[in-house]
Chains A and B, each alone.
Chain A
């Protein structure tokens, strides 16, 4: 089945620790995105990547980092510099960077203790 795999689904972290969220896709889509969702809120764009070895900051990139070494993978690292990291993180892909039809993963829920 073609799709997006996000892992882990649930993650607990102590303050001051970095964590990396995985996003893998087998849709052969060029563009990949990371969004953050807080309870009762809409989605906010963290980072996006149009092609391998290229990525751009979204609206709330501070405290996050990404890499795009392979077309299939776009991991997100939540660093200790992110002041309020507890949230639901969603990875998405699209066939091109300008397309508005996005496919989303199931999400990863990060809780900072």
Chain B
């Protein structure tokens, strides 16, 4: 799995867009970018994933650069409930083999949304 680099922490004002960056310069052509978040003392929650096209769902948007070496998760209108640790994970889609469930959750980015 490709290594990812995220800033350790970010702040955002409530109601504003939160843009969380992730660098994955060694990403391979068949690796997807996945985003999860973990609110304090809860289990991680899947947010979104993509291969090379930008993706949007009800929670967030994912922008992947053309060279796929970095991506940005966008929460369009951050609320206090979006305060969490956000994890960027790069992995082959539907990996199988001996890699079952071995998602590597690193340190992530602590996003704090302020009133």
Contacts and interface: CB of A to CB of B under 8 A. Distances in A.
Interface residues of A, number: 29
A37 to B, nearest CB: 8
Interface string A95-113: 0111111111111010000
Interface in A17-63: 31, 33, 40, 42-43, 45, 48, 50, 56, 58-59
B100 A98 contact: yes
Contacts of A33: 100-101
Contacts, number: 68
A87 to B, nearest CB: 13
A78 interface: no
B42 interface: yes
Interface in B66-110: 87, 89, 91, 93-97, 99-108
B44 A90 contact: yes
Given A97-B96, A99-B94, A31 B101 contact: yes
Given A42-B107, A96-B94, A104 B102 contact: no
State which size class the interface on B falls in. Answer: 20 to 34
Contacts of A42: 87, 104-108
18 contacts: A31-B100, A42-B106, A45-B101, A59-B102, A88-B41, A92-B43, A97-B96, A97-B100, A97-B101, A100-B34, A100-B89, A100-B91, A100-B95, A101-B49, A104-B44, A104-B45, A105-B43, A106-B43
